[in-house]
Amino acid sequence: MSTAILLVDHGSRRPESNLLLEAVAAAFAQRYAQRWSIVEPAHMELAEPSIATAFDNCAARGADFVIVCPYFLGPGKHWTHDIPALAAAAAAKYPHLRYHVTATLGLDDLLLQLLAKRIDQCAQSQFDCPRCRDTLRQGAQCMAARRAGT
């Protein structure tokens, strides 16, 4: 059996957000190449590749089982209804192709570690990193104090 991994996010009108999922899928494919030779990104809506396009890619690459892995934190409507419905519709044209939708990322110690890492990165730069400098992410009061030199 050839198993494919389909990493699914919401999709965005912002290209950099969609490109992030492609980067995640590429990094996942590289790291786990020995386990899964087929890894595809998919967006639930607003961008390509859609779930249907990604299923087509999996089928074309020889998959007969697709593990649909939502790149979502919580088990909302997209996980309980939208993604399974889109996966079912996409798989319908491939009678040999089975699929399963995994749980969302949810509560996991690795996510807690990642949260601490992000907080530490901000604190280590004294909340003035180039990524957030002079943006609303830095906070209006912080931006005003920086401009005033305090």
Kindly report the pTM of this predicted structure: 0.86
pLDDT in tens, the chain (150 residues): 799 999 999 999 999 999 999 999 999 999 999 999 999 999 999 999 999 999 999 999 999 999 999 999 999 999 999 999 999 999 999 999 999 999 999 999 999 999 999 999 888 888 888 878 888 877 766 656 666 765
Q: Residue 14: phi, psi to the nearest 5?
A: -90, 115
Give the per-residue SS3 of 30-68. Answer: HHCCCCCCEEEEEECCCCCCEHHHHHHHHHHCCCCEEEE
